[in-house]
Amino acid sequence: MPDLQTEFESAVADSKLLAQRPDNPTLLKIYGLYKQATEGDNTAKKPSFSDVVGRAKWEAWTARKGLSGDQARQAYIELIESLK
């Protein structure tokens, strides 16, 4: 049985091969889970209001604060699986 890190890496590869592009809220959820799984809690400065995309990404990542790396990886895997 593959370990969680291997499954996560496979899900990351699968995310680039989805038949349909997910909607923006789903893309932000994918981004937030990925960043939490790979870097942990967000410590970056919040982008300015003029940086709409950067701010949305920052908020998506910050929303996952406190989630462990393994929890974030598992949630990411499940989300990608649900989009296949």
* Tokens standing for residue 46: 């919040």
E strand intervals along the chain? none
Where does the pLDDT of residue 1 fall: very low under 50, low under 70, confident under 90, or very high at 90 and above? low
CATH 3.40.50.1010 fits 4-15+23-83, yes or no: no
Q: Are 65 and 42 in contact (CB under 8 A)?
A: yes
Distance CA 68, CA 17 (A): 26
* Cβ atoms of residues 32 and 55 within 8 Å: no
3-state secondary structure of 3: coil
Instruction: List, for residues 30-59, the tens digit of each pLDDT value.
Output: 999 999 999 999 999 999 999 999 999 999
What is the pTM (predicted TM-score) of this model? Answer: 0.91
Domain coordinates of the chain in residue numbers? 4-15+23-83
